[in-house]
Structure 1
């Protein structure tokens, strides 16, 4: 259960929730699609977490000197072989759930089904190769781009399409919000691990920028994420209820301040969970607001 990292799962639900709220806002919603999309995305998130545990141990980022929470493979609680089997199982679960979702939403539209199958396979590949494999892209500082795409544009936009059967560019701004907040979680994680990542040769964004500039980057991610949501509401001239998400702003301010003042991994670590839950709360308030 520790290797699954339950505290990260609200991020998986956030992009699915946002896409579903937007679909309902435009008059399209299917509960079975929401359920299957949630199962698929949670499976992918767990897959990514397990692969990250395995990959960082193999590549040395999760060593005995690491200041953050101990990882399952690195601590010996789970063997490398056992973790490999778990990764394979989660990859299969994600694939089967994704296929069921595509069949339910798209039926005999085989060209669209193949497109979404490609998206699903790309998601599985991205989840595994972030830190696992011979050339993990997370070690090159490309994790932020991947998170923004899969938790933002693709996660929200893809969910919307599966509900509605079509696409509208209105989803872009809320998708940007989700993507930027999810990237903020990754950035906070990388700020926490900056010392061990430098030793392991992991060139994350905070390693490349340095801690002080990474903090500015973190504030920028959160500010732009909120700004995109405000822009969406302003453009759509929605009701006053649509600004309900603003009540989540203090939580993001608390997180941004924590990144600036906390220097040790142990004091910074709890704010990973705090930002993930804040993102889910933001989505719930945003979605409820636009539907009222």
Structure 2
């Protein structure tokens, strides 16, 4: 039986800023239309956090029973390490998915955006199918698409539309930005795991690209994510505040491009989460400052 600390580590709480960032950015975009609703934002945050934790447990279970994590470099995996029985980890994943569904139903009810119920079902199915099932798409190099769509576009745009009932340029640009940051985190994680993934036949995008090009892709994702918000500066010059996070992004990119020790990539995962969260928070600050200061 795993200890509470091991369950917390298994949930990978250090990556949860990646779930909070699109909700903050989406709420800020709604506020740009003077339509932010804190209660709706809390429900959206619950959905995003529970899906994030559920995905982590689902990946832990599926990779563990397949033997993918047997030679993994990185933090504890409950299933592969034997800290928890596979059935327990699988149950934890589905409990999180169930709670995310309940929070999602509440959000649909209060926002009256009924079509989002279908999106929620697709999100849960995609979360399990990432590494679960007979043909997990994460093993075919499509995991980055899932992360970009659901932890970037869907999370950000969904947050905005449940509060404002419509979208604006800020919502779209920040949705793509947060999606790219999430993809960068996944790419760094998969670059670290290339040798082990290649051995077990897990063909992530990093494996398909090869080590050098995967590292360049990581840097390119960060670069584009920081360039896109410039499109918002003519409408709100305070958006330039987000570039306070650029030194950290440069440091992360240099680490990925230069380090030869795969364990040295582990801190980059936390940095990507912090960058994503920091950019979202600073974008929110920019919206509020512009509205109240000009």
TM-score (norm 2): 0.93
Q: Return the match for 1:251 from 234, 241, 248.
A: 248
1:7 aligns with 2:14: yes
Alignment of 1:142-157 (within 5 A): 142-157=142-157
| Partner secondary structure for residue 23 of structure 2 | helix
1:88 aligns with 2:94: yes
Contact 1:174 1:232 in 2 (8 A): no
The CA deviation string for residues 7-47 of structure 1, in whole angstroms up to 9 with x for no partner, is 11000000111000010111101111011111111000000
| Partner secondary structure for residue 76 of structure 2 | coil
| Partner secondary structure for residue 3 of structure 1 | helix
1:266 aligns with 2:263: yes
| Partner secondary structure for residue 49 of structure 2 | helix
| Partner secondary structure for residue 11 of structure 2 | coil
TM-score (norm 1): 0.94
Shift in Å, 1:130: 0.7
1:278 aligns with 2:264: no
RMSD: 1.2
Extract unaligned runs of 5+ from structure 2.
Answer: 1-7, 290-294
Alignment of 1:95-244 (within 5 A): 95-106=101-112, 112-113=113-114, 115-234=115-234, 236=235, 238-239=236-237, 241-244=238-241
Extract unaligned runs of 5+ from structure 1.
Answer: 107-111
Residue 17 (structure 1) aligns with: 24
Aligned residues: 282
1:59 aligns with 2:56: no
CA distance in 1, matches of 2:199, 2:41: 42
The CA deviation string for residues 241-288 of structure 1, in whole angstroms up to 9 with x for no partner, is 221111110010011011012222321111101110111011111221
